[in-house]
Every structure is written in C-alpha cells, then in structure tokens.
Chain A
Amino acid sequence: MPTVTYLEAIRQGIWEEMERDPAVFCIGEDIGIYGGAFKVTDGFIDRFGPERVIDTPIAESAIVGAAFGAALTGMRPVAEFQFMDFIGCAFNQITNMVAKAHYRWGGPAPLVVRGPSGGNVHGGPFHSQNPEMYFVHTPGLKVVCPATAYDAKGLIKASIRDNNPVIFFEHKYLYRRIKEDIPADDYIVPLGKARVARSGRDLSIITYAAMVHVALEAAEQLSKEGIELEVLDLRTLSPLDRQAIAHTVRRTNKVLIVHEDVRTGGIAGEISAIINEEAFDDLDGPIVRLTALDTPVPFSPPQEDFFLPKVSDVIREARKLRAY
C-alpha cells in the first residue's frame, strides 16, 4: 500500500475523480501552472489541461458563482479557496445562491468548495480560521472535515460524487504532518458517518480534524493510568451522525467534546443538544466541552498556544470528568 501524506491523499483523490469523470474540473486561484499555494493541484494542468484546471482572478464570489453555473449544466466543479478564511468573500453566493437552489427551485449544485483551514501554524487571524459552523448552520450544504489521510482521500472522492454542495475543510496543520498507508484501489468514505478512532469504555471524546490527533495522544497517556478513552471522529459536520454520537454516549456515559473552533456557536453546543435529545438518560455526568477561546486566532506563538486546546487540557478535563 502506498504511503502518503494527508495532502497527497487529497491530491490523489481529486486526480482520480478527474480521470474517472470528464465532468470534474478544478477552478481557483494559482491552481494551474503554480499547482496551488499548498501544491494540492501540482501537476494537474500538465495532465488535464488549462480547460479543466482554471486559474481565476481574485474574485471568490465569481469562483463560487461560476462553479454553480457550470454545475447547472451538469459539470462537477471543485473550487479551491487558497485559505478557507477567505470563504467570507463568497458567503452570499454559498449560503444564498448555492445552498438554497435545490430546495427552492430544483437546481442541484454538485460542487465542492475546498481549501485549507485551521491553526497552529502561526498564521494569525486570517490564515488560521475554522469557519465551518457558518455552513453547518446553513441548510442545503454538507460540511466535511477529515482527520486522516485515508479519510481525506475517501471523503474528497465521495464529496465530488455527491449531488450536493460540499464545503470541504482540509486541516493545514495535518497536510504534511501525517503519513499513512492507504489502499491503492478506488475507495470512498461515505459522508454523514462518524468513525470510532479509538475504542474505550471510560469516557468518550467527540471531536474532528486536528483535534482527533490531540485526543488520541491524550488517550495514549491516560491509558497508562487505566483510563480508556473512546475517541469519535465526526468526519462530517453536516449532516451529523446522530446515531454514532448516541452510541458512544451509551457505551461510556461520559462525554468530552473537543474542537479547535471557538467556543460560542461551535459544534459542541449542537452536539450537546443532540445528546440531550438522543441519550440523556445514558449520561452519568455533565457534557464538557474543550474549545478555543472566543477570540480571533492570535498570531504570536505563546498566544496561539494559549488559544488552542492542548493534550494537557484534554487530559485534565478527562480526569476531572472521569472522577465526577
């Protein structure tokens, strides 16, 4: 099985879909000869030509709008945002034009908006954001946040094949830091399904993206103390896998939700409400959430370090909840 980084897995996924389906094409800034700011589309223009790898002016509303228009003729665009922080520039197109089209007038939007999100790379407020909740909040969109190379490839392929608009958040911290052996064959990972990253009976951590690895590291350490954490990787934020969430609560009866997104309006609140609806009687303690601060992402390393949830934070909160 080939060993690839998280980024290479995404690159392979898009490449394979472009080979498989001539309706798939890429559109974005600097994705052609340059291969993209993070090199995700490196080599694409040589193989697929400028007709299918389109460099655009700096115009995010036009990128999304044009992708939607092409989708209406039956194409499957993959629109790259150089940083997902810039998704605000296309907010109206995504939430009003694209997200509501199928519900209102039967205009399907089989497009993917993808790009790097997340912090811990000293990027500051405009290169480190986690904007996912604006889009989880919008009916009609699907929101995907893979945490592993395997999932990144399977999910980007599934997203491209999906008839719905998918906002695909790639965690830039994970791009080159994680390497995995992945299958060489054509596989997909279904949207809307969470994954148990680690089984355990003592306490559940519900999380996604880079925080999955933080949770797993904390789990390793706590295992030495005889505390076995279960780690549920959500993978898709919208639609959420309610069944998987309820199932893990029934197994461990204690829940710690960890996300890198800000506290207020982050998905921990939504998951808490779902647990309340689906598995209240299975709780043996309050639902605890560990999140970033309610501030923009600070730039200076000591500040960003304080801003983000860390392994030591997870361990502390898990121990406390375990003892409740």
Chain B
Amino acid sequence: MSPSKHSASSQRTYTILDYRLEKPRFELRQVRDGDVVRYEVSGTLNSPVPPIRDSKYLSKTQCIEIYRWMLLNRKMEVALENLYKQGKVVGGVYFGLGQEGCSCASAYALKPDEWLGPMIRNQGSLLVRGFSPRDIMMQYMAKAGSPTEGRDASSHFGDIQERNVVAPISTLGDLIPVLAGVALGARMQGKNIAVMTYIGDGGQSTGVTYEGLNFAAVQDLGLVLFVENNLWGYSTPADMQFRVEDLAERAIAYGIPGVIVDGTDPCQVYDAAHEACERARRGEGPTLIEAKMMRMKGHAIHDAAEYVPKPLFEYWKKRDPIARFENYLLNVKKWLSRTENEKLIADVDAQLEADREFAVASPMPEPESAVGRPYCSPECHEIRPKYAVPKIRAGKGSVQKTSEAAVHLK
C-alpha cells in the first residue's frame, strides 16, 4: 500500500488490492418524481453474475464447512422471522440476509484463541465461534437461559472464557478500539493475535471508528476490520455517507493495507481475512477489508425497505451468496452431490428445529433477576492474564520524589 517512492512528479500513488471478478459502478441519488422524492439508481446493472473465485487456501472440506455455516445462518434467521410472526420474539429482529458469506467466511479465518467482535448482522460469525442457534433464539425471546440471562437482546452477548467474543453495544464503531485493546493485552502477554470486528458503510462515519483504527495502526495491533459496505445505513444509501469511491481507500488515511472483496463470494472473503490474520500474527498491524454486497432486507423486521430501487435489489438478488456457493460446490467443483447437499440441508433443518423447540420451551427470567450483578466481585470472576503472565522487563530506578508540574495551573 505504501506510496510510490520514485515518481518524479509531485503526485503519489497508492495501491488497494481488489479481489473482485466484477467491479460494478452505480450511483444512488435522491430525485424528485412528481409529488414524491425517491432514490434512483444508475449504472451497470445487467452484467452476468461472476463465478466464485477459487480460494488460495481453502480445502474442499473447509469450503463445505463454510457453506454449512452459511446455511445455518440463513435458516436460523428464517426461523427467527417465523418466531417473530408467532409473537414469540421480544422487540425486533435484525437480518444479515445476503451477507452470510461475509459473516461466516471471515470468522472462519480466526483461531480459537483469537477474538471476535460481531455487529448486529454478523450472527453467522457467532455461530462459527461456537454459539448455537438456540443461544441466539433465546436472546431474541428474552429467555432466562440466554447468554445474557435476558438482560440484553439480539447479538449483544459475548464470552471471555472460551469463544472469545466481545459483546457489541448499540452505538457504532465502539467495538473497534476495544478489539484493538484485546490485541494490545495479548501482545503484552507475549502473543501477537488476530482480532476481528466489523463496521458498516453507515457506522464507519463515527468518530470512534477513526480513533480506534488509528490507535490500532499506530500501535501495529492485529486488528482485522471488515467494512461491510451493504449500501444502506438504515434508510440512507452509501452515496450519502462518504465521498470516496471505495471505503477500502480509507486505509490510506490510516497508513494500513486496504483490500476490496466481493462480500457475496465466501472464498474471496476468506482469502482476504486469512491474509490479514496472518499479517496480524506476524505483528504487522491492522488491515481494512471492504466487503461489497447489499443488505437484502430492511434495517430490521419492521422496515420493509421500500426505498431500495427495484433494479438494484434485482442485481444483488442474482448474487445471493448461498445460491452462488451451492452452485460452485455442486456444479463447478463437483464437491457435493445432489444427494449430499440434500442431506446437509436436512441436517441443518433438524438442528434448527431441535434448537427452536428448546428455546421456545425454555422459561422467562424471574423478575428479581433484573437486579443482576452490576459489580464484579472476586467471587464471580477471577481476573488473570489469559495467555501468559506478562514478562517484566524493568529498568533501573525507584519512584521519583519530586518534580515540577508541566502545566501553568498551580
């Protein structure tokens, strides 16, 4: 990514790696159409769907595993939608429809002792890390057995012991400095790890996004940041969120490598994630990966997303990640027979049905459990370094006795 050093002119050039096999250009504008103002899309919207780009790293078994995660992700969200329509869900439901390849293939690149910070549409990544569909269903149904014992909703949960997941909060970008800090803590314990989190085309506008990523860059922390450009921040299109052509260009401003992938191609997503994680493990610092795709439902279940222009929706519908990957595995690579695929799908359905039954039957919390544990006592958590006791490399010296303040305030 570093700027070219040899140009005679006063211009610099930078490199952004782009793995995509198609590079569509379209624009979304607000236009007045008679009595209404609506969004209009223009650009190349009729190109054929490109093939899946063969992965440099994934084996046949691994591809099939990722495909299964994607199926589980998709079908779990269908089950959640059904639960919502049956009146069993408290509050709203958030979908990652069309983004399953990105969530699952990215998290798949992390090692077990590395960390994930998921955002609201990355429920697939939570499954990859070892949470089950019943965990997520119980979250939505606010059950006592949910990972937060009913105290928070949707994907707002985590695990510091085994699955190494940091729970998100509702404001955007806040996970970025936190995951950077996780990498910092690990490094102080002698280990360069990869840590991964996500931010949307909308969320990346926040100040804390900048502060966190800049801090990671300055400190060479192994933060792999997926910028999920799904074209919509609630009802606001990406074109109204930033002026750069591609969000991967933001990497230039931080002094880190930027990569663009097709977010509906799990092989591209995995390859970029894997390379970024390897960089992180070598102590070479953060990477920004922009995954291009589209959010195929509204912001949440209440949002019908009628503001999305139909031609744009149709373009991305043809690029459904599960349909593409299924075609790749069955017809291109011939790694799955029709029968094997049907069995795999039936397995996923059975798993989901068992989890759904369990979650629906599980109890609501006792009212008094609202009191919870705002404070952590030594009895509830033993806090010690996760990887290793940090090595002390102390210099000489004892604590200073006196020195003048450096400020004028006396």
Contacts and interface: CB of A to CB of B under 8 A. Distances in A.
Interface of A: 5, 8, 11-12, 15-16, 19, 22-23, 25, 34-39, 42-43, 46-49, 51-52, 54, 56-57, 59-62, 64-76, 92-93, 96-97, 100-110, 121-123, 127, 139-140, 142, 163-164, 172, 175-176
A39 to B, nearest CB: 4
A140 B271 CA distance: 41
Interface string B375-403: 11110110111110111111111111111
Given A96-B169, A97-B178, A163-B383, A65 B212 contact: yes
B396 A22 contact: no
Interface string B2-19: 000000000000000000
9 contacts: A62-B211, A103-B372, A104-B167, A105-B147, A106-B381, A108-B380, A110-B383, A140-B375, A142-B375
Contacts of B182: 69-70, 72-73
- Residue among A106, A110, A127 with most chain B CB within 10 A: A106
- Residue among A22, A23, A69 with most chain B CB within 10 A: A69
Given A59-B211, A140-B374, A70 B184 contact: yes
Given A103-B372, A104-B148, A163-B383, A25 B409 contact: no
B160 interface: yes
A51 B186 CA distance: 12
Contacts of B390: 22-23, 51-52, 75
- Residue among B171, B182, B391 with most chain A CB within 10 A: B182
Interface in B358-380: 372-378, 380
B208 A73 contact: no
B212 A61 contact: yes
B158 A39 contact: no
Contacts of A70: 181-182, 184-185, 188
Contact of A105 (B148, B186, B387): B148
A92 B171 contact: yes
B407 A47 contact: no
B156 to A, nearest CB: 7
A31 to B, nearest CB: 11
B37 interface: no
Given A76-B383, A105-B148, A106-B158, 19 more contacts: A23-B389, A35-B400, A43-B400, A59-B177, A62-B215, A66-B215, A69-B166, A70-B188, A75-B385, A96-B170, A97-B169, A102-B373, A106-B160, A107-B166, A107-B167, A108-B160, A110-B383, A163-B377, A164-B375
Interface in B163-209: 166-167, 169-171, 174, 176-186, 188-189, 207-208
A7 to B, nearest CB: 8
Nearest to A39: B403
Contacts of A59: 177, 211-212, 214-215
A42 B386 contact: no
Contact of A108 (B156, B212, B381, B386): B381
Contacts of A61: 174, 177, 207-208, 211-212
Contacts of A54: 184, 219
A11 B169 CA distance: 34
Nearest to B389: A22
Nearest to B221: A66
A93 B179 CA distance: 13
Nearest to A41: B400
B158 A107 contact: yes
Nearest to A43: B400
Contact of B405 (A25, A69, A175): A175
A12 to B, nearest CB: 5
Q: Which 4 A-B pairs have the closest CB atoms?
A: A69-B181, A65-B177, A73-B185, A66-B181
Contacts of A37: 405-407
B208 A92 contact: yes
Given A46-B395, A57-B215, A74-B383, A123 B409 contact: yes
Contact of B402 (A8, A15, A56, A163): A8
Contacts of A92: 171, 174, 208
A92 B206 CA distance: 12
B410 interface: yes
A176 to B, nearest CB: 7
B54 interface: no
A22 B385 CA distance: 9
Interface string B69-101: 000000000000000000000000000000000
A103 B149 CA distance: 10
A10 to B, nearest CB: 11
- Residue among B174, B181, B214, B396 with most chain A CB within 10 A: B181
B180 A22 contact: no
A19 B399 CA distance: 11
A5 B410 CA distance: 14
A183 to B, nearest CB: 15
Contact of A62 (B170, B177, B403): B177
Given A23-B390, A73-B186, A105-B148, A65 B174 contact: yes
B157 interface: yes
B218 interface: yes
Given A96-B169, A163-B378, A62 B208 contact: yes
B404 interface: yes
Contact of A104 (B156, B387, B392, B394): B156
Given A48-B394, A103-B374, A34 B406 contact: yes
Contacts of B183: 69
